[in-house]
Amino acid sequence: MASVPHTASNARQDLYRRMDKQNTAPLWEVLHALIPDEPATRCKPYLWKYKDVRPHITEAGKLITAKEAIRRVLVLENPGMRGESCITQSLYAGLQLILPGEIAPSHRHSQSALRFIVEGSGAYTAVDGERTTMYPGDFIITPSWTFHDHGNPGSEPVVWMDGLDIRIVELFAAQFHEVYPEEVQPVARSEGAATARFGNGLAPLGAAAPFGKTSPIFNYPYARSRESLDLLSRDQEADPCHGWKMQFVNPLTGGHAMPTIAAFIQLLPNGFRSQPYRATDGTIYSVVEGGGRVTIGSESFEFEPRDTLVVPSWVPVSFQTAGETVLFSFSDRPGQEAMGLWRERRG
């Protein structure tokens, strides 16, 4: 390749300096970085061992109350994006602790949130006047702009994973937040009302979607999810990449349960060796049952129940199980699908 003459180089730099004064810049200097041949992300593969991070959560429970913290959460920061409070380029994740007798005060925000219960039971979350009790493995939704609080009238600490679309909402500069006048919102409906109205293959005549594009069911109990996986595994062969994998859906639309975050649950049989799989949605996994080894790109990690792992966009992942394994996962797939961007590759 011919070198650029020194005089031409000087002339370009002089042009760039004059352009800069008018807040303009040369595209040709950054084009390849802006439009790479394949997805480029600072997100890195990583696995958080629950047994290693749990002591930090426990100690935080002794040093700061849920009321002081608003939400006592250990942020899971991707090692490639430290200090940015994100686990992938688009999503946030953290582990939240609520101790017996505590209340995390009511507020609402434009960010949508999911809760995946990791340890303990007996706590509750309340969404717009309805409470639901939390049990390990439950997938719970807090729709955008709904008042929500958490409480623990039980006898044991409860830890769950929070997943939020904070980075997506930030990208659009559409963030709003409001504190409820009281610490706890009033209970207006019986527990299980949302499931009774929308979760049994039924819907009230003329019912409007209570949470817009978000599922009207805000608790998907693990017992039901596990039963569905068991039944699915009896009737069909395991997918070579996913085992038996199911998507949580909005019963009113058949689409994703949340407009910005997709959630899945999958069963991998004992001794399963999955074929490599990659997709453009960076994905966060929480291990519910079982264990084994996961290979993400060139890195491998041993995993066990309650561990969290992240697979960056377009990085191949494969699992090798040492027992029957259940994985919960979530990603930004709905937005990518809506824009026609989502891709996958097997093998």
What torsion, rounded to 10 degrees, do the Cα atoms 18, 21, 26, 29 define?
A: 90
- Which domain range does residue 341 map to? 46-346
Helices (H), the chain: 6-20, 31-34, 50-63, 66-69, 166-171, 193-198, 222-235, 333-338
pLDDT (average), residues 215-224:
97
Is residue 8 included in any domain, yes or no?
no
Is residue 81 included in any domain, yes or no?
yes
d(CA 25, CA 321): 51
Provide the whole-model pTM.
Answer: 0.95
Tokens representing residue 277 in the block:
């799989």
The yes-or-no verdict on residue 206 having pLDDT over 60 is yes
pLDDT (average), residues 278-295:
98
Q: Which of 61-70, 93-102, 265-274, 289-298 has the lowest mean pLDDT?
A: 61-70
230-244 pLDDT, tens digit each? 999 999 999 999 999
Is residue 114 included in any domain, yes or no?
yes
CATH number, position 285: 2.60.120.10
Which residues on neighbouring strands pair with residue 60, listed in sequence order? Answer: none
Please provide the distance, in angstroms rounded to a whole number, between the alpha carbons at the two ends of the chain.
37
Q: What is the largest CA-CA distance in the chain?
A: 78
Is residue 242 included in any domain, yes or no?
yes
Backbone angles phi, psi at 170, to 5 degrees: -60, -40
**Is residue 96 within 8 Å of 159, Cβ to Cβ?**
yes
At residue 56, the 3 state secondary structure works out as helix
Is residue 37 included in any domain, yes or no?
no
pLDDT at site 3: 61
pLDDT (average), residues 274-295:
98
* CA–CA–CA angle 329, 214, 288 (5° rounding): 20
Count the neighbouring beta carbons within 10 Å of the beta carbon of residue 260: 21
Half-sphere exposure of 238 (CA within 13 A, CB side): 17
pLDDT at site 109: 98
pLDDT (average), residues 301-314:
98
Task: Domain count for the chain, please give it.
Answer: 1
pLDDT (average), residues 127-144:
97
pLDDT at site 25: 96
The yes-or-no verdict on residue 287 having pLDDT over 70 is yes
At residue 322, the 3 state secondary structure works out as coil
The yes-or-no verdict on residue 1 having pLDDT over 60 is no
DSSP labels, 256-318:
BSSSS-EEEEEEE-TT-BPPPEEESS-EEEEEEE--EEEEETTEEEEE-TT-EEEE-TT--EE
pLDDT at site 67: 86
pLDDT (average), residues 165-174:
97
Looking at every residue in the chain, the average pLDDT score rounds to: 96
Is residue 68 included in any domain, yes or no?
yes
pLDDT-derived band at 122, boundaries 50, 70, 90: very high
Is residue 126 included in any domain, yes or no?
yes
pLDDT (average), residues 296-300:
98
pLDDT (average), residues 103-132:
97
The yes-or-no verdict on residue 342 having pLDDT over 80 is yes
Backbone angles phi, psi at 171, to 5 degrees: -55, -40
17-53 pLDDT, tens digit each? 999 999 999 999 999 999 999 999 999 999 999 999 9
Is residue 92 included in any domain, yes or no?
yes
Task: Report in angstroms the alpha-carbon separations of 316 from 141, 275, 285, 294, 347.
Answer: 28, 9, 14, 10, 8
pLDDT at site 4: 58
List Cβ neighbours of 184 (8 Å cut-off, separation of 6 or more). Answer: 103, 105, 106, 126, 149, 151
**Is residue 161 within 8 Å of 93, Cβ to Cβ?**
yes
